[in-house]
Amino acid sequence: MRLGYVGLGNIGGPMAARLAAAGPTTVFDISADAVAAAVEAGASRADSLADLAAASDLVSICVRDDAQVRDVVADLLPHLSSGALIAVHSTIAPETAVEQAALTATSGVTLLDAPISGGAPGAQQGRLAIMIGGDREAYQRAKAALAPAGDMIVHAGDRPGDGTRMKLARNLLHFVSFTATAEAARLAEAAGIDVAKLGKVVRHTDAITGGAGAIMLRDTTAAIDPDDFWYGVFTHVRSLGEKDLTLALDLADHLGVDLPLGRRALTDLAAGLGVPHSSEGAR
């Protein structure tokens, strides 16, 4: 499959380079330096989006925002062959993916929303997670073509926008975790603990346990039946979590540190795990 790539930034550049090393890839970007780096990696240069479209069976788009995605699709669409694919790697609104998929379908072109996770290091290493929403058969074609850039490519769902919906849920966890990290750092600092050393411990143990994703083991968020295997597992997690959260909050009270996420976690942990306390419902 002939590939095209539009948007050669910190993620798009190394991603396009890996694709170019594996097969014919044409690139376009307003940065001459970014294009030159991709060409050095084996890509071909397009002088316009029209030229790129004419040379591509699948075009990857990795630009800044929804407006740029719309502009790029509008310029590509008249020059793509019927049956071509567009994979939008930018994180956009799900509604934009739905809107653009409907637009391209009128020309026989399938648009997949295919946001990525893993950042620049993942792109450089070919270890991106690519979450694809849209037609299953088109997903299979895109998966094979994009494999050099991502070692986890998943079909998020049959609807345009499903890839983006998955990415938004993933990044919710990411940035809420960052906010919780700031709370933990404040507590450690107030207690006279070296924050940098704490960071080393966190990275070490998360690499072993899997971090927050380690509890994402079920296919539903519903309450767990007491006869279910996972009931015992998550009840144990609940007990440990509530004990440690209570101790951390007691320390915070002693030091005068405000931990709003920590307090919310203690309140919501049991129900969130699917094992609410029977005497309280959702604790």
Q: Which residues are catalytically annotated?
A: 167
Looking at the domain assignment, is residue 279 inside a domain? no
* Whether residue 148 is found in the same domain as residue 211: no
In a domain, 172, yes or no: yes
Same domain, 12 and 48: yes
How far is Cα 179 from Cα 186, in angstroms, rounded to an integer?
11
280 located within any domain: no
The answer on 176 and 126 residing in a single domain is no
Quick one: 259 and 156 in the same domain?
no
* Residue 86 sits in the same domain as residue 120: yes
As a dihedral over the C-alpha atoms of residue 33, residue 91, residue 97, residue 2, rounded to 10 degrees, the angle is 40
Radius of gyration, CA atoms only, the chain? 23
Instruction: Give the whole-angstrom CA distance, residue 58 versus residue 61.
Output: 10
Query: In this structure, are 95 and 207 located in the same domain?
Result: no
Collapsed DSSP state (helix, strand, coil) of residue 25? strand
For residue 235, the enclosing domain spans 166-273
Number of structural domains (the chain) is: 2
| pLDDT, one tens digit for every residue, the chain (283 residues) | 999 999 999 999 999 999 999 999 999 999 999 999 999 999 999 999 999 999 999 999 999 999 999 999 999 999 999 999 999 999 999 999 999 999 999 999 999 999 999 999 999 999 999 999 999 999 999 999 999 999 999 999 999 999 999 999 999 999 999 999 999 999 999 999 999 999 999 999 999 999 999 999 899 999 999 999 999 999 999 999 999 999 999 999 999 999 999 999 999 999 999 999 976 554 3
Residues 146 and 250 in one domain: no
pLDDT in tens, 173-190: 999 999 999 999 999 999
Same domain, 239 and 207: yes
Decide which of 107, 135, 161 is a domain's last residue. 161
User: What is the rounded CA–CA span in Å between residue 248 and residue 253?
Assistant: 9
Query: Do residues 135 and 180 share a domain?
Result: no
In tens, the pLDDT along 218-237 reads 999 999 999 999 999 999 99
Q: Are 110 and 104 in contact (CB under 8 A)?
A: yes
Q: Are residues 33 and 145 in the same domain?
A: yes
Q: Kindly report the CATH number assigned to the domain that includes residue 263.
A: 1.10.1040.10
